[in-house]
Amino acid sequence: MQNGKNDISRRRLLRDGLWGACLVGTAGAGSFVAGRGKKDNTVWQIDPETCVACGNCATYCVLEESAVKCVHAYEVCGYCEICFGYFGPEPVNINEGAENQVCPTGAIKRTFVEEPYYEYTVDESLCNGCGKCVKGCNAFGNGSLHLQVRHDRCLNCNECSIAAACPSGAYKRVPADKPYLLKRAGHA
């Protein structure tokens, strides 16, 4: 009887000890995380310098319509009359006809500014983030058209599905207070 009682209290001691150890462990994990210093929340963003405009952004996003859109860095743009982000590689005519355009959804608007310059603007509601224009602009132009994760749409998944499918490792976690990696004039 005495023995049995001892046994129970021993088990209890063991259990309480383990319980305390687990609580300390959890607290330890918490303080470890806190001790890491910068606890900036991060969001996903595309590094335009690494991006190869493969087209995965349009298809791999968990959203039906991708959170990635084409963004135009106007300060980098040459305002070319013949823009290869706008026209296909062999345009039938140099005009706004749909058959001449590289954008499958007609999301880029071409407006005349002054001789011989044209402005190109992206209609985000039409853009699907396929990056066809980006490819053309990178290959033959200044590379002012580039893809960016749009944070009004992005769900900021713990693991971005597009990042997992990105062939060039262009996806990064960036601080949430600097959520864009826009191209700027001066550094290509």
Partner 1 sequence: MIRLIHIIIAVVALTILSGVVSASESDSERFPPPEFETDYQRPSPTTPEPRQDLWEYVDVAVLVAALGLSSYLVLRKRNRRMIFLLTVCSLIYFGFWRKGCVCPIGAIQNMVLSVFDANYAVPMAVAAFFLLPLVFTLFFGRTFCAAVCPLGAMQDLVLFKPVSVPSWLESALRLLAYVYLGLAVLFAATGSAFFICRYDPFVAFFRVSGNFNILVLGACFLLIGMFVGRPYCRYVCPYGVILRQLSRLSKWRVTITPDDCIRCRLCEDSCPFGAIRQPTADWPARSYSRDKRRLVLLMLLLPVLMLAGGWITSALSPVTSRMHATVRLAERIYQEESGEVVDTTDASSAFRATGKKISDLYGEAGDIRGKFRLGGWFLGAFVGLMAGLKLISHSLRRNREDYEADRASCVACGRCFQYCPREHVRLKQNKTDRE
Cα separation, 160 vs 45, in Å, equals 10
Q: Which is nearer to partner 1, 54 or 126 (CB)?
A: 54
Q: Give dist(CA 154, CA 162) in Å, integer.
A: 11
**Binder of partner 1 out of 57, 84, 101, 102 (CB under 8 A):** 84
- The answer to whether 30 touches 108, Cβ cutoff 8 Å, is no
Residue 159 touching partner 1 (CB under 8 A): yes
Identified binder of partner 1 from the candidate list 88, 96, 126, 157, rule CB under 8 A: 157
In angstroms, what is the minimal distance from the CB of 98 to partner 1? 21
The interface with partner 1 within residues 93-152 (CB under 8 A) comprises 113-114, 116-117, 119, 121, 135, 137-144, 148, 150-152
Q: Residues 68, 130, 154, 162: which binds partner 1 (CB under 8 A)?
A: 154
CA distance 76 to 85: 13
Q: Is the CB of 73 or the CB of 126 nearer to partner 1? A: 73
Q: Where are the alpha helices (DSSP H) in the chain?
A: 2-35, 56-60, 132-140, 161-165
Closest distance between partner 1 and the C-beta of residue 72, in Å?
6
Q: Which helix (H) or strand (E) holds 43?
A: strand 42-46
Site for partner 1 in 28-47 (CB under 8 A): 29-30, 32-34, 36-43
In the complex, the smallest distance separating the C-beta of residue 182 from partner 1, rounded to whole angstroms, is: 6
Q: Which of 75, 138, 147 is nearest to 107 (CA)?
A: 147
DSSP states of 99-130 as a string? GGBS-TT--EEEEEEETTEEEEEE-TTT----
Cβ-based nearer residue to partner 1, 110 or 151: 151
Q: How far is the CB of 13 from partner 1 (least distance, A)?
A: 13
Q: How far is the CB of 96 from partner 1 (least distance, A)?
A: 18
Helix (H) or strand (E) holding 174: strand 171-175
